[in-house]
Structure 1
């Protein structure tokens, strides 16, 4: 039987409850800390729909030009990067223009992606007429320059790299991913390529098509590209509604929103962005169709 007065017993129980609460609280705090430590690549505050649709993210951005005379294997370009070094290194992405295009056609993506916590290299190709296989090699040469020789190489994590490209540059991004499976993300934008099947790709890939594309129609390019990717791969196909082949060369919130989410999810392994990709986005005024696998495996 319990001993002591009721008041004394209540005091002992209260003290025990306080001790248990303290232990639980400490465990919870440790758990939260451990969870944050699980992903050292997280950059920036927790995302919201408005934050990934915004024209600029949380990071101030600087840029530097790279002369074609200072590089080999591609045509130079512009590097956009978070100004602050307080958060350590960042993942990086190289972006190729399309046939007859220059880096200026992709320039809108530079500060938009960099302000979300990436180093972004919009490149010029050796000639404006280069084919996708050449553009793929040039994207890889640009990433090598970025991580090994560029003035911002100390800001880049060379293990967390991706590629993007428009039209033939989009076809080039598939070529780059095929050649270098260690890439963490690929985003072809209204891609064009004579090669229609990509079973060799091992890089998580988000393909953008446009419902009104008459240059690289989705039925002969973007859709078969997506369908040929391994079914086990983290992959997605977003067909833009009311869009054309040239939609990606101008500022576009839908392209930016899902590109940011894809790059964050797979280059930074930041599962905070999974909410924007899974469940699959539904058709809307800007999305004609979205296909993909959920939940993501990597």
Structure 2
């Protein structure tokens, strides 16, 4: 498949396909048997993030050229190029809202931008959101959780762009953040080697999941809400039980730092991507 590091990994909403973006400038569409279905050069530089629209018709991608591109997920033709002037553009995340109306993007020294997907235009820049590393929408498409370079994370109102809650400050960078399926909890992975579960109303930590011996680069909650998966620079993927934080299994198949992990929307499979392109 790819000739360089995996920059991103996402499932299609129907769980039939997996899209991966790489530092080799390409996106590959796979079926769940691992067969390559389509490959195309998507950016002039590194591809560091991608997302699938909830209706399965659009794939968004971003990277080191500072532009977000929207692709037709059936024909793989370019639909829109979303641009916003930055001093040092580098997109680290793109995420669709659950209703498909909005797309959030941002990155290193880049504001967190809200885009109107249908119009292909900028809707709003979230206030106080410069240089954010990761962000994701809640299930109701009304809030956005985001984490910054300054070891801070919080919840923003999508319509107004105003901050709602500041999550308890971390001692090291938060690399990934997501909501639980019911929107009551937030989950973060951090360079302090922990996975943290937060109450989104109070902003307080409920539980720390301990066990990784390297940076936790990605973490996500299963569609049923009962499980958490985390990917780490220690070369492992761990599966945890949400209720009590116990580690159920540690996957050791990767031979390099693991940067990405994702549950399929139907909750039946778990996929991961590493620095060596696997």
Q: TM-score, normalised by structure 1?
A: 0.29
- Whose strand fraction is larger, Structure 1's or Structure 2's? 2
- Whose helix fraction is larger, Structure 1's or Structure 2's? 1
Q: TM-score, normalised by structure 2?
A: 0.30
Higher relative contact order (CA 8 A, sep 6+): 1
Larger radius of gyration: 1
